[in-house]
Amino acid sequence: MSKYLYRGSRSAAKSSGASEGTLVTTPVPVIRTGNGHGRFDERSGIVPSKTDWGLWWQTVDEIHIEVNVPPGSSSKDISCQIKSNYLKVTVKGNQIIEGKLPGVIHPDDSVWTLEDKKLLRICLPKSNPSAANCWKSLLVGQYNVDPYTFDQMEKKLTLQRFQLENPGFDFSGASVSGNYHGGGPDLPS
């Protein structure tokens, strides 16, 4: 499976000598596995928020977006404008997503891939990675998470926080109750 990669700003891609929509022949991981976050997500699953164009979910340190695009789309059909607090996605001239992000991200570390010419994946690293930084919507006033799903997202981020703080334990199959809102309780170190 080939993937198309776009990393950082267009000016950074051009200054590095890469052309827009460069074909990458090696898979580009969207979920990082080197720090243990990816393995936790693989074992415990995700808590997605479904939209009319696809879905989005979050981890302690990233926002993940999946956009269903028309089959046969190419990287040249896609425009992703990613700024520290703004996101705009256009496919074949049709605006899919546009608006202000509810939190700040690292745009230069953001990645988008086109898989099988029908699925656009976007990964936005949060500037303030913590379990307490659980977004209630993808954009300000748009793509809000329903209360039940948000509750599940908070639980998931709290468990991921516990996993990061206790790498010798496996919290992927655990459940949490009690004080998990806002990232869970502050524990003494």
What pLDDT shows up at residue 31? 33
What pLDDT shows up at residue 59? 93
Amino acid found at 161: R
In the predicted structure, residue 48 carries a pLDDT above the cut 60: yes
What pLDDT shows up at residue 185? 73
Identify the residue with better confidence: 181 or 123.
Answer: 123
DSSP 34-87: TTSHHHHHHHH----EE-SSEEEEE-SSEEEEEEE--TT--GGGEEEEEETTEE
Asked if residues 133 and 126 have their Cβ atoms less than 8 Å apart, the reply is yes
Maximal C-alpha separation, the chain: 53
Identify the residue with better confidence: 174 or 119.
Answer: 119
Average of per-residue pLDDT across 27-51 = 61
Model confidence at 65, in pLDDT bands (50, 70, 90)? very high
Mean pLDDT of the chain: 81
The DSSP symbol for 18 reads P
Q: Name the CATH architecture for the domain at 3-172.
A: Sandwich (2.60)
In the predicted structure, residue 26 carries a pLDDT above the cut 80: no
pTM, 2 dp: 0.78
Identify the residue with better confidence: 177 or 40.
Answer: 177
- Please name the residues in contact with 162: beta carbons below 8 A apart, sequence gap of 6 or more: 169, 171, 174, 184
Share of the chain above pLDDT 70, in %: 77
- Please name the residues in contact with 119: beta carbons below 8 A apart, sequence gap of 6 or more: 54, 66, 67, 68, 69
Amino acid found at 15: S
- How do residues 133-179 score in pLDDT, each as one tens digit? 999 999 999 999 999 999 999 999 999 988 888 888 888 888 888 77
In the predicted structure, residue 96 carries a pLDDT above the cut 70: yes
What pLDDT shows up at residue 38? 53
Lowest mean pLDDT among 21-25, 84-88, 125-129: 21-25
